[in-house]
Structure formats: structure tokens, C-alpha cells
Amino acid sequence: MGQNARAAIAGFTICNDVSVRDWQRRAATGTIGKSFDTHGPLGPWIVTQDELPGANELSLKTWVNGELCQDVTPTN
């Protein structure tokens, strides 16, 4: 990431994309399943760049009902 882009970043937070799959399957576009008021919760905190110097090295793992469904690291 270029230095100009990094200067525009206020901080990092978490967003949970709560899509309604049955609406997405029935609609002409997938956006209707992502447009409900409560389907994009954020936060509750924003972490600034100086608080998270290794942001490019973070991994993400997601479990659903005890099953690992997502495992993303900077190397894979």
C-alpha cells in the first residue's frame, strides 16, 4: 500500500456482513440481501494505525457451530 493511501486511513474496525441469502437468491441483484438496517454492525471500537502496527500481518478465522469455515492469513 502506498504511503498516500495509508495516510488516508483513520483506523481499523470490524464489520459483520449479515446477508439474507434467501433475499439475495430471489432478487435480480444481490444488494437487497445486504440492505437491511441492522445487517452491517460495526465496531464497537476503532483502532488507530499506531495501536496496530502489524495490521498487514493479521489473520482471520471464523467458526460456525464449532466448524472452522474461514482461515485467512497474509501468506495464503
**Who wins on pLDDT, 5 or 51?**
51
What does the pLDDT read at residue 68? Answer: 96
Q: Give the mean model confidence (pLDDT) for residues 9-27.
A: 84
Strands (E), 5-59: none
pLDDT above 60 (res 1) = no
pTM: 0.58
Q: Does an H or E element contain 6, and which?
A: helix 3-7
